[in-house]
Amino acid sequence: MKKIIGLVIAVITTFFIVGCGAKKMKPYEDTEVKYLDGGWVSVWADEFNGDKLDQTKWSYETGGDGWGNNELQYYTYDNTKVSDGTLKIFGRKEQKNNNQYTSSRIVTSNKFNFKYGRVVASAKLPVGKGTWPAIWMMPQESTYGHWPKSGEIDIMEYVGYEGNKVHASIHTEVYNHKNNTHQTGSLKIDNLTDDFHKYELIWEPGFISISVDDTNIKTFRYNPILDQAYDSNQAFPFDQDFFLILNLAIGGDWGGLQGVDDKIFPAIFEVDYIRVYQKDYNYLDKSNPETPYNVQESRLKKNSIIWVAPYDDIGVEYYNVYVDGEFYKKANLPQITLKKLDKGKKYNIKIEAVDFTGKVSRMSEGFEHTFK
C-alpha cells in the first residue's frame, strides 16, 4: 500500500512540476501597459512621463553631414523636450555650422536592443512641407556588412508635403531604395498632424508586419522559393539585434522633394509613448515543431539548399543543418549556402527545426546534393 501511495504522490508531483514549471515572464515595470493579447509581455518602454529625456534609455546622435540622404538639419542635444507626458522633437530654422536648420535624433543603441518582438508607439506628426519624421530601427552590429546589407526597418516615415500618408519599409542588400527595389507600403490616414495615432511593428523570424491604428500598412515575409537566387541574409537580414530611433529630419532626398516651407517652424514631432513586447515563449509553447520538408537545391544559386518552414505553435527560431549525419551549421531562416566541401562529392543533407524553448523537430528526409 505504501508503494502504491508513494507512486501516486510521485505521479501527482511530476504532473504538478510539468504543468506549473513554466513561470510567467515578469513584465517591464516602467510601462503603463504590461501585457498585450497573444502572450506579449512588456520588456522595455518609455512613457515620457518625466521632465527630461531619460538618457539611461536614449542617446543623442549629433551632426549635420546630410545623414546619407542630403538632409538639411544639424542634429543637436537641444531640440528635445519632455513635458506633459510626451516627448517633443523640434525642427527649427536656425544656423548651426553649415546647416540652416536644427533638430534632434535619439537612439537606444547600446542601451536597449532586441531581436524579434512587437513595438507599439503613439505619435503626432509635424505640419508642413520639408518635414521628415520617422520611427525606425537599425542593427546593433553590422553582422552582414554596412548599410543596407545588415538591414533597416522603417515602422513609420512621413513626408510633410503629402499631408495624409504614412509609409512602412524595409531595406536590405537586395531590396533598398538606392536600387529602387525597396519593399514598402503606404496608407492614407486623416488628421496625422492633429491627433496621436498608433504605429505598430510585429517582428518574428522571416516575418515583419507594420500597421497604423490596427490597420495593416505592409507585411514582409522571407520566401526561400522567391528569393532563391540569394543567401537569406541578402534578402532578409532581420535575424540580429536591432535598436530604436526617433528623429525629425528636414529636407533631404525625399523629405525635401518639394522644398522646405520656412513658415512652418518650429515644427514638432510629438511622441506619447514607445513600448516593446516579446512573447512569453516558455509559458506559451506546448509542442515540438513539425518536420521541415521539401528540402531542395536552389535553381538559381550554387550550393544553396532551401526548404519549407514547418509549423510550430509559437514559432521556429532556427534550424540545425546536418551534412552526412554531422552537424554542419545553424540557419536562422530556411536557406543555407554550403561552403568548404569537396567539389564533385555527393552529400546527404538533413534539417531539423528548433523553437524558442529549445524543442526540436524530427529530422527531415535526406536530400542528396553534389557540391559544385
Tell me the CA end-to-end span of the chain in Å, nearest whole number: 68
- Contact by Cβ (8 Å): 107, 243: yes
- Catalytic residue, chosen from 29, 94, 152, 317, is 152
- Contact by Cβ (8 Å): 96, 64: yes
Neighbouring-strand partners of residue 185: 168
Return d(Cα 314, Cα 308) in angstroms, integer. Answer: 17
With CA atoms as reference, report the closest residue to 293 among 371, 231, 367: 367
Determine the length of the chain: 372
**Angle CA(329)–CA(330)–CA(335) in degrees, nearest 5?**
95
- Contact by Cβ (8 Å): 41, 277: yes
CA 218 to chain centre: 13
- Catalytic residue, chosen from 71, 157, 200, 270, is 157
Question: What SS3 state is found at 8?
Answer: helix
No. of H helices and E strands in the chain?
A: 4, 25
Phi, psi for 226 (deg, rounded to 5): -70, -30
Task: Give the three cell numbers for residue 167.
Answer: 509609409
Reply yes or no on whether 29 is catalytic.
Answer: no
Instruction: Tell me the catalytic residues.
Output: 152, 157
